[in-house]
Amino acid sequence: MTAATPMLGTDHHIYRRDGRVYVHKMGGGEPVIFLHAVGLSGWTWRHSIDQFARRFTCYNIDLPGYDCSDTPLRQYSMDDFADSVLDVLDGLGLERASIVADHTGSIIAAIVAGKHPKRVHRMVLDGLPYWSRQ
């Protein structure tokens, strides 16, 4: 039995006013954005993204302030993270994409979809916590 070989991808940075956002791209097909929970990084998708990349073009984002992305000079709100995802879509030239997200990444995805429904094709949200502005 041979071990599975992970798919290779390409590393990118999207430049924004608050700094660079790191994106790892792999696969081919319809675009899918992966959003990690706040406090973690895109590395959390390492065990599953290869499977998605067999059918989709996967964009694994490190949200601002995490891992390979720059840290903003101020604390980000959920709306700020959602704006950064929209900037990534624009920077990648994507008019519309599906989103796979977990925990607070799911909140960010829901905000993106609520503010800009035509930019989101489908969503898979895991562990969407209760959240309020208070």
pLDDT of residue 5: 42
Q: What is the rounded CA–CA span in Å between residue 101 and residue 64?
A: 15
- Does 97 have pLDDT greater than 60? yes
Query: DSSP letter at 127?
Result: S
Q: Is 88 helix (H, G, I), strand (E, B) or coil?
A: helix
Q: What is the rounded CA–CA span in Å between residue 26 and residue 8?
A: 7
CA distances, 81 to each of 9, 25, 36, 51, 87 (Å): 24, 19, 11, 26, 10
pLDDT of residue 14: 97
Q: What is the rounded CA–CA span in Å between residue 110 and residue 99?
A: 10
What mean pLDDT do residues 31-46 have? Answer: 94
- Does 67 have pLDDT greater than 70? yes
- Does 129 have pLDDT greater than 80? no
- Does 1 have pLDDT greater than 50? no
Give the strand pairing for 30-35 and 56-62.
parallel
What mean pLDDT do residues 45-65 have? Answer: 95
pTM: 0.90
